[in-house]
Amino acid sequence: MIALAPTTPAHAGTDPTDGPAVPLQRAAALVERAVAETGLDLPAPVHGGRPDDADGTGYAWTRWPLGELEDAPAAAAMLRSVLRPDPVAQAVPGVDLAVVPDALHDGGRLLLIMDVDSTLIQQEVIEMLAAHAGREAEVAAVTDAAMRGELDFAQSLHARVEALAGLPVRVIDEVVALVRLSPGAERLVAALLAGGHHVAAVSGGFTQVLAPLAERLNLTHHRANRLGVRDGVLTGRVEGDVVDRAVKAASLRAWATAGDIAPDHVIAVGDGANDLDMLAAAGLAVAYNAKPALRHAADAQLNLPRLDAVGALAGFPGF
């Protein structure tokens, strides 16, 4: 189990590995009350974190190693029910509390699979493309509704892509040049690959944008939609089947099978309703600065702009 929080201005200049900040102390008190309610004998906590760096605000964490308990799975289930009475809200403001499956720490190969827009990267690519057509606000409104789960994703994607019809294909390269990885993304991916794990990205966005990122990051797998192009301009159509929530989950299962990776060794990270099935198929489902629909369904939330904090949630060394 882990409690994780960003370093705050009140603690500027403090190394978060020296101990938990005030919000984490409040979280620890909540955990102690939960332990008392469940009758568990919790191991002593350990502390760590990441100082502020070039990627931005750092984070601090406190972890209780549940694997040391006699019946860790049952203990985890009890603690989840007590610590997350409201699965959307933070039990302690400013702190993300998560109960993490023990399987992630047994030394087996892992698969980290991520959504792309507003997860692996900071932007929504289709909105960046739509800006070239003067329709960014219109497309952004549809994107928000789709990510909240209010619209069918495939239908909404087709409607948004139609707004791109007639744009010169060069705008794709212009958008690729402006794409920015989420803070900590490069560090997270490199560390997992160096440890022999697999890293994948699956997107309801576009392969013309994802492919260069996948090459840059050396991703094990990637998949996205393909924008139609004819005579040097975008057709306003998607070629082939849409990468929707079912396709994302199917990709997770296929890539896990290909890597001989058990489902409980899969970590899935996303931010919107199109990621629901993918997160449901994972051993650890992480909602990253996510819409309420996904926070409600996830095992863990990250409400700070550091993707490398996923490494802290999963207990990777150095995070």
**What's the pLDDT score for residue 8?**
57
Q: Is residue 93 part of a domain?
A: yes
Question: Do the domain assignments include residue 157?
Answer: no
Residue 272 lies in a domain: no
Question: Which residue in 70, 51, 68, 94 sits closest to 1, CA to CA?
Answer: 68
| Count of CB atoms situated within 10 Å of the CB of 34 | 20
Q: Hey, what are 25's tokens? A: 């102390």
Of the two residues 273 and 77, the one the predictor is more confident about is: 273
Residue 126 located in a structural domain: no
**Structural domain of 48:** 1-99
- Spatial neighbors of 251 by CB under 8 A, at least 6 apart, are 113, 200, 202, 221, 223, 243, 278
| pLDDT at 18 (0 to 100) | 42
Q: 219 vs 17, which has greater pLDDT?
A: 219
Q: What is the pLDDT of residue 201?
A: 98
State the chain's mean pLDDT as an integer. Answer: 88
Distances from the Cα of 61 to the Cα of 5, 51, 95, 266, angstroms: 6, 11, 9, 22
Q: 3-state DSSP call for residue 152?
A: coil
CA distance 117 to 237: 19
Q: Look at residue 21 in the predicted model and tell me its pLDDT.
A: 60
Strands of the sheet containing 233-239, edge to edge, are 233-239, 221-230, 198-206, 111-114, 266-270, 284-288, 300-302
Quote the CA–CA distance of 36 and 231 in Å, as a whole number: 68
| Average pLDDT estimate for 42-64 | 88
Question: Residue 107's pLDDT is what?
Answer: 81
- Whether residue 50 contacts residue 318, with contact meaning beta carbons closer than 8 Å, is answered with no
For the chain, how many structural domains are there in total? 1
Q: Provide the whole-model pTM.
A: 0.91
Check whether 9 has a pLDDT greater than 60: no
pLDDT one-digit tens code per residue, 163-217: 899 999 999 999 999 999 999 999 999 999 999 999 999 999 999 999 999 999 9
List, for residues 122-176, the tens digit of each pLDDT value: 999 999 998 988 888 888 888 888 778 887 888 888 889 998 999 999 999 999 9
Is there a domain that residue 201 lies in?
Answer: no
Residue 266, Cα to own-chain centre: how many angstroms? 12
**189 belongs to a structural domain:** no
Q: Write the CATH number for 14.
A: 3.30.70
Look at 15 and 311; give whichever has higher pLDDT: 311
C-alpha dist (Å) from residue 87 to 104, 259, 293: 22, 32, 10
Q: Is residue 145 part of a domain?
A: no
Closest CA to 115 of 29, 224, 27: 224
Domain contains 9: yes
Query: Which positions are catalytic?
Result: 115, 117
